[in-house]
Amino acid sequence: MLFHFKDKFPQLAPYWDKYLEFQKRIEVPAKTVLLEEGKISGQYIFVEKGCIRAALNNNGVDKTIQFFFEKEGLTSLQSFLKNTPSLFTIETIEPSIIYLLPKVYVNKLMAELSGEPGFLNIILAVFAERQLHYMHEFVSFIRDTPEQRYQNLLNERPHIIQRVPQHYIASYLGVTTVHLSRIKSKIAKGQSHF
Amino acid sequence: MLFHFKDKFPQLAPYWDKYLEFQKRIEVPAKTVLLEEGKISGQYIFVEKGCIRAALNNNGVDKTIQFFFEKEGLTSLQSFLKNTPSLFTIETIEPSIIYLLPKVYVNKLMAELSGEPGFLNIILAVFAERQLHYMHEFVSFIRDTPEQRYQNLLNERPHIIQRVPQHYIASYLGVTTVHLSRIKSKIAKGQSHF
DNA sequence: TAAACTTGGTAACATATGTTATCGTCTGCC
DNA sequence: GGCAGACGATAACATATGTTACCAAGTTTA
């Protein structure tokens, strides 16, 4: 969960280089499944180029729950830490270049890093960020309407709307593709009343 | 963020005792505000007895986002760590007995603990749990209907339904009190068809 | 003890959102 | 070049959910 912070925390860079040889670089087309729902996650995923989504199958309906882009790392945390079946699938949206680091090396890396001064603060910052991210997503569902969540996406993470097919965004916002279309057309009409 | 794990991780117990003298014990009635939305969190909150909610004001509408009970600890993490205005209010639901530990002591405690062997694993486990909690809440909004979320509450955390007034639960589920009443009566009808 | 407040149920109506179906465009592929 | 599938817009109708209003039973408080 650390490599995507190597720019933010320069003291991690040597470790990145050291573990580079254990990472498997793969170049894959769109819609390649990197981790299947129900399987156990055995590796950490780092996005060099392209774009990825996490999704789950709910009674035959595909629901996207998160997007990842260049320089971001991910895994199914719960599956990775607890060796339990992953609750979601991880698959590419665009043709992508991915680095995979097997779990054994992640564990070795963590053990090495635990001696690094200041590492505790780094790991706390990383985990706190993730926790706050999910909390904000969750609060947004309690507080905002789907239209407001779409506006938030537009304002705060427009790259998602630009790069990701709309039907993935719809389920991520908690609505159907039909309703997301309605939201967009409503916003477009509103803007034309200038 | 640690004291509520002192039972789970016995090696923390001595620190709990050591810092007990810096904790302020207060006994407060229901609806006592412990942290106001917009203010900066300066202390960690531990629930000895009673029950607490986190909530925010959205255009005059009160929305509950989380509940806490005996032996749980909490704070506005983002406000506490970053010294930014809290996004939510923390207030008691029932008359409660609360322990408050000022931030300076939390920091001291963290510094001391960082030398404890195995502490890294503990803190990672604690943060991972919280992260997964919020992720599950968030995924539930994408995947489930309000009725399903109410059923989940009934099955997984019935104590919430038993102890907390229904209008708090309604906003927590993302619906109005009227609709939660409908959900309950629908479920009751379903069950009576035996 | 009476008034005020809190809590929760229900009805009637309004709005938001889902479902199903149809159409058009684009893109990859053979 | 054409065909199949992916993607997105829209309409018509069905269902879910919100809004407002009213009622009733506790509970707190003056």
Q: Does domain A3-116 fall into CATH 3.40.190.10?
A: no
**Residues of chain B falling short of pLDDT 50:** 193-194
- CA B135 from chain center: how many Å? 15
Dihedral of the alpha carbons of A20, A22, A27, A29, in degrees to the nearest 10: -120
Q: Which residues of B touch A (CB under 8 A)?
A: 56, 58, 63-65, 77-78, 81, 87-88, 110, 114, 119-120, 123-124, 127-128, 130-132, 134-135, 137-139, 141-143, 171-172, 174
Residues facing residue A66 across a β-bridge? A54
pLDDT reading at A157 higher than 80: yes
Q: Identify residue A172 by its one-letter amino acid code.
A: Y
Q: How far apart are CA B25 and CA B10, in angstroms?
A: 23
CB proximity B107–strand C (7 Å threshold): no
- Give A46-83 pLDDT, tens digit per residue: 999 999 999 999 999 999 999 999 999 999 999 999 99
Q: How far apart are CA B1 and CA B103, in angstroms?
A: 11
Residue B40, token pair as written in the block: 């900066």
What SS3 state is found at B55? strand
Report, as an integer, the average pLDDT of A159-173: 97
A51 and A68 Cβ atoms separated by less than 8 Å: yes
As a CATH number, domain B3-115 is 2.60.120.10
A172 and A64 Cβ atoms separated by less than 8 Å: yes
pLDDT reading at A17 higher than 90: no
pLDDT at A194: 45
pLDDT at A121: 85
pLDDT at A190: 72
Residue B160, token pair as written in the block: 């919430």
Q: How far apart are CA B161 and CA A193, in angstroms?
A: 47
String of DSSP letters for chain A: --GGGTTTSGGGHHHHHHHHTTPEEEEE-TT-EEE-TTSPP-EEEEEEES-EEEEEEETTEEEEEEEE-TT-EE--HHHHHH----SSEEEESS-EEEEEEEHHHHHHHHHHHTTSTTHHHHHHHHHHHHHHHHHHHHHHHHH--HHHHHHHHHHH-HHHHHHS-HHHHHHHHTS-HHHHHHHHHHHHHHHH--
Question: What ranges do the domains of chain B cover?
Answer: 3-115
- Give A21-43 pLDDT, tens digit per residue: 999 999 999 999 999 999 999 99
- Higher-confidence residue: A17 or A71? A71
Report, as an integer, the average pLDDT of A11-15: 81
Distance from CA of A186 to the nearest CA of B (A): 22
Judging by DSSP bridges, how do beta strands A43-49 and A73-74 pair with one another?
antiparallel
Q: Which of A78, A119, A137 sits opposite B138 (nearest CB)?
A: A137
| Chain D positions with any atom < 7 A from a protein CB | 6-12, 16-21, 29
Q: How far apart are CA A50 and CA A60, in angstroms?
A: 27
pLDDT at B119: 84
Q: How far apart are CA A38 and CA A53, in angstroms?
A: 16
> What letter does residue B40 receive in the DSSP assignment?
P
What SS3 state is found at B127? helix
Please, what is the average pLDDT of chain A? 92
